[in-house]
Structure 1
Amino acid sequence: MKLGARMMKTGLAVAVALYVSSLLGFVSPLLAAIAAAFSIQPSIYRSYQSIIEQIQGNTIGALIAVVAVFTLGNDPFIVAFAIIIVIGFTTNLKMNENTISLAVVAVIALMDSTDLTFIHFAASRFSSMLLGILAAFIVNLVFLPPRYETRLFKKIDLATTDILQWLRVTTRQLSDQPALKYEIQRIQDEIRWIDHTFLLYSEERTYWKGKRFSKGRKLVLFRHLITTTKKSFDVLKAFYRLEYKIEQIPYEFQDVLVGELDKLINAHEKLVLSLKGRIKQTHKQSLRTIEEPDIPLLVERLTNIFEESGDSDKFAFLPLASQLMEYYYQLEKLKRLLKSYQTHHQEDYIKTSDK
């Protein structure tokens, strides 16, 4: 079992909430722990949003609970009615599920019977929950702050490497079909995680005015890096679907097809290596030219082959040719964005590793 940062943060937040609430003599330290567990978020920005929303949700829950107890009592059916009202209010305000769940917990906790006077009892439990929310926010802010820039690039780099390796193997008819089918599904899941990580990275706030412009450029560069990776994945899926048809065409055409694709694969690898700082900035030749695949010649040869054979599937490869051209255009745009970023932000490197 791998212990992630969020798991450790949740445990630490619960411990801090229990310790501080016991130290302050709160009646219900357990409620502080529950609130802390519900309030941990994957990013500092989301943690800030969560603390505001959790306070609002708990305040709504507490007010409804107090009104219900003073007007109707705390019979189990009254508690159920109050919970329904709270869920209705918080859902109308489009609060997230954690906030709604914690607001429900607040209602149940405040409407529970006790020997203390109700106001004192409600204030104590409400304070415990606020303490838990605050503990979670502080732990998220101080302990192991997430580095989404590094994490995002590593995920993109790994997915791109896998895709390009499979493209080389597949175009040479060396791939195992069941293995490739599994890898396509796995890479699809990886791309979903890349999109999720990019969302978290884009939500991170830059507090230094001088770095806001640089962060904006990084977001544009990362967004297009992801788009290019997805386009290479589309090409891989196209080759996977047409693998049996490719085997039936002459070897001369297969060699031409492999040669045109290799131009794009090599360019993609150079761009990623440049981002990782493994190509010298002074070596401009590495990023100067990306060879354009000769798609019209490719289509013409393919059409001639199928016309000679009389096969009705002569246009089956046209979508693949279109995918190759789109892949080329995306690489060209990525090259321009990377060159522009490296020219204007030489001191603000993209963090590609934890070092």
Structure 2
Amino acid sequence: MTIGGRVLKTGMAVALSIYLSSLFGFATPLIAAVAAIFTIQPSIYRSWQRVADQLQTNLLGALIALAAVRLFGHTPIAVGLVSIVVILISIRLKMESTISLTLVTVVAIMEATGQGWDVAIERFLMVLTGIGASFAVNVLVFPPRPKKQFNEQLSGAYTQLSLLLRTAISNEMKEQVFRQEKDKLHGTLRKLEERYLVFEEERKILARTKTSHARKLLVSKQMIKTLQKGADLLDVVEEHYFASPSANEWATRFDRQIEDMSKYHEHILLKHEEKIKPNAQIEPEEEREARLVKDLTAYIMEDPDENKRLVFVAAALFEYAYHLRRLEKLVDQVQQRTAAGEVKEG
């Protein structure tokens, strides 16, 4: 088990909030620590957005709590009603993620007003201390690098996909192992989509490089799309290929074509990382693909009812190939424009 950056930073934010609570002379560091835990985010943009939202809703919640205490006292029913109002307001403001900490603020302030207004204000300051500690740690200590994390997950997803594709037709892998690896692949793809959203949010704070960042986003999105098409091919092979009476007859040709596409996919990723010579020809021979289409079409027409399952497999394979070629074109375009931009700056 490894300790991730967010886990480590959460611990550091809690430690800092406790230290600051002691430095400021707060009665207890508990509220500040809780606020720090709720504020840690996977990107600087999200962290800043969360701080801004937390400040708004917590200030609003604190004002409502103080007003409610003056009107109704700090009875359990009053605290419950104020909590409901705060939840509804947060939802209305589309700040649902801040509800938990805002409710902590409300309860802490309403419970403290019986001890005096100075205690209630102190507890609100505790919340602000925790928010500030969390934001400082997130920005200054191991700042999130969504691009690097995205590329690492992308490489891992391709490795999983390649292993499954290369053994899909030959059916060499044990059924249980194949399903486990396939589940891992789908899990990695979900994480990639989440990481892409974080990567996309960076564009909002990178004003100077919005154009180049937009190009990189386009490539990243196509990379995910291509991986998904490869995963779709696995599903189609599993569902239709082995159910076809002609599976064994076409095994070698399908296996070779999938092998070519998988290798092509790997070379595109290497090109994107600038590990391949600029003029290297990495696209597989289209003649072999054309022959496969021609021969398979003629074969299916001999007995469409019996051989139609092969159509699904071929369609999924050619769609995967289409998105691979589109990905390579995007990578080439981005690298050419990047190079042109560097020449102009030079």
Task: Output the TM-score relative to the length of structure 1.
Answer: 0.88
Of 255-264 and 64-73, the range deviating more from structure 2: 255-264
Structure 1 residues 115 and 258 mapped into 2: Cα distance closer, same or farther (>3 Å)? closer
Once the two structures are superposed, what CA deviation does each residue of 1:87-136 show, in whole Å capped at 9, x if it has no partner?
A: 22222222224x11111111111111467532x22221111111111111
Whole-angstrom distance in 2 between the partners of 1:334 and 1:246: 31
Aligned residue identity for 1:68 = A
What is the SS of the residue equivalent to 1:286? coil
**Match of residue 100 from structure 2:** 101
**Match of residue 316 from structure 2:** 323
- 2:163 is equivalent to residue 168 of structure 1: no
Give the root-mean-square deviation of aligned CA atoms: 2.4
1:1-355 to 2 correspondences below 5 Å: 1-97=1-97, 99-113=98-112, 116-118=115-117, 120-205=118-203, 209-245=207-243, 248-249=246-247, 251=249, 253-281=250-278, 283-286=279-282, 291=286, 293-294=289-290, 295-303=292-300, 306=303, 312-346=305-339
What is the SS of the residue equivalent to 2:282? helix
Give the structure with the higher percent helix.
2
User: CA contact under 8 A between 2:241 and 2:309: conserved in structure 1?
Assistant: no
Whole-angstrom distance in 2 between the partners of 1:347 and 1:21: 53
Whole-angstrom distance in 2 between the partners of 1:115 and 1:242: 70
Whole-angstrom distance in 2 between the partners of 1:173 and 1:304: 27
What is the SS of the residue equivalent to 1:313? helix
Give the deviation of 1:26 after TM superposition: 2.9
Structure 1 residues 261 and 8 mapped into 2: Cα distance closer, same or farther (>3 Å)? closer
User: CA contact under 8 A between 1:263 and 1:291: conserved in structure 2?
Assistant: no
Aligned residue identity for 2:200 = S
Give the deviation of 1:190 after TM superposition: 1.2
What is the SS of the residue equivalent to 1:3? coil
What is the SS of the residue equivalent to 1:204? helix
Whole-angstrom distance in 2 between the partners of 1:263 and 1:246: 23
Structure 1 residues 208 and 115 mapped into 2: Cα distance closer, same or farther (>3 Å)? closer
Once the two structures are superposed, what CA deviation does each residue of 1:132-170 show, in whole Å capped at 9, x if it has no partner?
A: 111111111111111111111121122112212222222
What is the SS of the residue equivalent to 2:173? coil
Task: Output the TM-score relative to the length of structure 2.
Answer: 0.90
User: CA contact under 8 A between 1:264 and 1:290: conserved in structure 2?
Assistant: no
Whole-angstrom distance in 2 between the partners of 1:231 and 1:277: 24
Give the deviation of 1:300 after TM superposition: 2.0
Structure 1 residues 159 and 290 mapped into 2: Cα distance closer, same or farther (>3 Å)? farther
Aligned residue identity for 1:340 = Q
Give the deviation of 1:202 after TM superposition: 0.9
Q: Structure 1 segments of 4 or more deviating over 6 A? A: none
Give the deviation of 1:30 after TM superposition: 2.2
User: CA contact under 8 A between 2:83 and 2:103: conserved in structure 1?
Assistant: yes
Aligned residue identity for 1:314 = N
Once the two structures are superposed, what CA deviation does each residue of 1:187-208 show, in whole Å capped at 9, x if it has no partner?
A: 1111111111111111124756
Aligned residue identity for 1:203 = E
User: CA contact under 8 A between 2:45 and 2:201: conserved in structure 1?
Assistant: yes
Aligned residue identity for 1:327 = Y
What is the SS of the residue equivalent to 1:134? helix
Structure 1 residues 113 and 197 mapped into 2: Cα distance closer, same or farther (>3 Å)? closer
Whole-angstrom distance in 1 between the partners of 2:244 and 2:175: 14
User: CA contact under 8 A between 1:45 and 1:205: conserved in structure 2?
Assistant: no
Q: Which structure 2 residue ranges, 5 or more long, are not aligned? A: none
Aligned residue identity for 1:344 = R
User: CA contact under 8 A between 1:28 and 1:124: conserved in structure 2?
Assistant: no
Whole-angstrom distance in 2 between the partners of 1:208 and 1:174: 48
User: CA contact under 8 A between 1:17 and 1:33: conserved in structure 2?
Assistant: yes
Q: Which structure 1 residue ranges, 5 or more long, are not aligned? A: 350-355
Identity of aligned residues (%): 32
Aligned residue identity for 1:274 = K
Aligned residue identity for 1:317 = L
Once the two structures are superposed, what CA deviation does each residue of 1:14-50 show, in whole Å capped at 9, x if it has no partner?
A: 1111212221223443221111111111111011110
User: CA contact under 8 A between 2:164 and 2:182: conserved in structure 1?
Assistant: no
Number of matched pairs: 340
Whole-angstrom distance in 2 between the partners of 1:145 and 1:16: 16
Whole-angstrom distance in 1 between the partners of 2:26 and 2:203: 35
Of 104-113 and 45-54, the range deviating more from structure 2: 104-113
